[in-house]
């Protein structure tokens, strides 16, 4: 028998390290963030922070006309 594959078994690579994700909060309301596809979504205000090359873009973009 060969060694079992070590490159994840079934689960896709997370776009961000889970340890880092656990430390991040929404800069607006300091709420927890939820990983959704390739972005982080605030569980309270719903702002979306895209993850680029494993680094979350936490810049707050004011929504004009909102």
Whether the Cβ atoms of residue 29 and residue 42 lie closer than 8 Å to each other: yes
> From start to end of 1-66, where are the E strands?
33-36, 39-42, 48-52, 55-56
- Assess 17 for contact with Zn ion (CB under 5 A): no
CB of 12 to Zn ion, least distance (A): 25
Closest CB to Zn ion among residues 2, 62: 62
Q: Does 42 bind Zn ion (CB under 5 A)?
A: yes
Does position 45 bind Zn ion by CB under 5 A?
Answer: yes
Nearest-angstrom CA–CA distance, 53 and 66: 30
Residue in 22, 28, 48, 55 binding Zn ion, rule: CB under 5 A? 28
């Amino acid at each position: 028998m060969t060694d079992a594959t070590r490159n994840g078994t079934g689960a896709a690579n997370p776009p961000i390290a889970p340890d880092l994700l656990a430390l991040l909060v929404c800069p607006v309301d300091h709420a927890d963030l939820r990983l959704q596809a390739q972005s982080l979504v605030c569980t309270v205000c719903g702002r979306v922070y895209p993850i680029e090359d494993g680094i979350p873009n936490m810049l707050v973009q004011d929504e004009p006309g909102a």
